[in-house]
Amino acid sequence: MTRPVVTRFAPSPTGQLHIGGGRTALFNWLYARGRGGKFLLRIEDTDRERSTPENTDAILRGLRWLGLDWDGEPISQFERRDRHAQVAHDMLARGTAYKCFSTPEEIAAFRAEAEARGSYAVFQSPWRDADPATHPDRPFAIRMKAPRSGETVIDDAVQGVVTFRNDQLDDMIVLRSDNTPTYMLAVVVDDHDMGVTHVIRGDDHLNNAARQTMVYQAMGWQVPVWAHIPLIHGPDGKKLSKRHGATGVFEYQLMGYPAAGVRNYLTRLGWAHGDAEIFTTEQAMKMFDLSGIGRAPARLDFKKLENICGHHIAMMEDAALLQELTAFLAVSGRPALTKAQSDGLLRAMYCLKERAKTFPELLDKARFVLESRPISRDAAAEAALDTVSRGILKSLTPQLHNATWDKETLETILNDAAAAAGIGFGKLAQPLRAALAGRMASPSVFDMMLVIGREETIARLDEAAA
């Protein structure tokens, strides 16, 4: 009963990594990693029409960006089709499946007729108990011989005990007439072969779990622990769609959210552990459990995402921040930093990371250290540099030439200068900020002066005063 935990994430490569899929992967990853278990990846690429290698790559990139690593190589479901077919034939041999010679046309006709009558009975193949001697010589599908009475019970770690009446479930096809496996069969076989102990997936699969349980039972395999988590909805409470904007993990990366923040936010979306809100991944792994997962769909809230990301940027090590920022620059198609710029950024990081929630915001506040003279100024900065202000700046530089370059001394000098000019410090800080940063939102003027140094400070003041 205490098997080592094995979880998996099994995306279809029919598009990029969806934010909901990212969260499903995250939950699986947290659960496994928090228990010293394994987290596996399986690409459900049996739909040859819609699956592409590009999509697979995009999904792997998305997972890597989220910081989710997997054990071993990703498994291709398509490549395991022979094994799936073999299991279907095993079921045939065991008598838990049968050959069905009904054609898709016949089945469609049955459904159409049933619908016309206003009834919605499940299709019951006439071949279920047919004498093999009567089998025609034509292609057949293999159907599972599902129990027709009794019930199938799912003991779900999130949804609780869910009971299905067996007479509601039809004999699903496990192997198509072209010998390709259906999803219902493939998942079970793969999960079993991969040793998956806990299936954590979207609750759109809850109904499927009943039929899949039947396959496990038909093969005499141990049924995994199910955990069906609710889907993520858009801010308006509707199912997430393109119309909501950011549906892909990649888009979050492009918007400049730090991965640790997105991970934290996603972990909290639909899962809670008391009042825990801001936590590291290590803490999340320790706290995460299936019982903390909610049963109602959660809505995306960008305000909260931003808030959490702000905390994480502030918590991150300067070097790690620079590294992730550099990666952000690359994927978002922005110019890379020069050596001088990243050095400057590193020196300024202490006063930048406390005031940014996203990388674009951090970059914006970092312009004073990223730019070199002449400093470009926006309209507000230009307005702050009126004649009087220029005069004050000009009178400041001689004192700066001889000052000890530390915060205390600079504070004294600037405060005295403001007093001498008969203005409050705020009035002095404005033109200073305009001169040093070229914009009115920046770190403290003292921090900026310390970071860029005496020479550069004086040069910028001269430039602004001219």
Partner RNA sequence: GGCCCGUUCGUCUAUCGGUUAGGACAUCUGGUUUUCAACCAGGCAAGAGGGGUUCGACUCCCCUACGGGCUGCCA
Residues forming the active site: 242
Interaction of residue 204 with RNA, rule CB under 7 A: yes
Per-residue string for binding with RNA, 61-80, x by CB under 7 A? ----------------x---
Which of 283, 378, 446, 459 binds RNA (CB under 7 A)? It is: 446
d(C-alpha 320, C-alpha 28), whole Å: 25
Interaction of residue 203 with RNA, rule CB under 7 A: yes
52-56 contacts at long range (C-beta below 8 A, 24 or more positions apart): 52/13, 52/14, 53/13, 55/13, 55/14, 55/15, 55/16, 56/13
Report in angstroms how near the CB of residue 149 gets to RNA at its nearest: 15
Which of 34, 195, 292, 360 binds RNA (CB under 7 A)? It is: 292
Which is closer to RNA, CB of 204 or CB of 386? 204
Interaction of residue 35 with RNA, rule CB under 7 A: no
Q: Are 225 and 252 in contact (CB under 8 A)?
A: no
Amino acid present at 62: G
Which of 46, 96, 213, 389 binds RNA (CB under 7 A)? It is: 46
Interaction of residue 102 with RNA, rule CB under 7 A: yes
Which is closer to RNA, CB of 169 or CB of 259? 169
Interaction of residue 270 with RNA, rule CB under 7 A: yes
Binding piece for RNA, criterion CB under 7 A, among 67-75, 179-187, 332-340, 454-462:
179-187
Interaction of residue 1 with RNA, rule CB under 7 A: no
Q: Are 42 and 10 in contact (CB under 8 A)?
A: yes
Binding piece for RNA, criterion CB under 7 A, among 128-136, 191-199, 200-208, 451-459:
200-208
d(C-alpha 65, C-alpha 309), whole Å: 15
Q: Are 422 and 388 in contact (CB under 8 A)?
A: no
- Angle made by CA atoms 224, 70, 281, in degrees to the nearest 5: 95
Which is closer to RNA, CB of 37 or CB of 46? 46
Interaction of residue 193 with RNA, rule CB under 7 A: no
Helices 425-437 & 407-420, crossing angle to 10 degrees?
Answer: 120
SS3 237: coil
Contact set for RNA, span 360-389 (CB under 7 A): 365
Contact set for RNA, span 300-329 (CB under 7 A): 301, 303-304, 306-307, 310
For the chain, helix, strand, coil in percent to 5 are: 55, 10, 35
Interaction of residue 238 with RNA, rule CB under 7 A: yes
Which of 4, 53, 72, 294 binds RNA (CB under 7 A)? It is: 294
Helices 387-402 & 407-420, crossing angle to 10 degrees?
Answer: 140
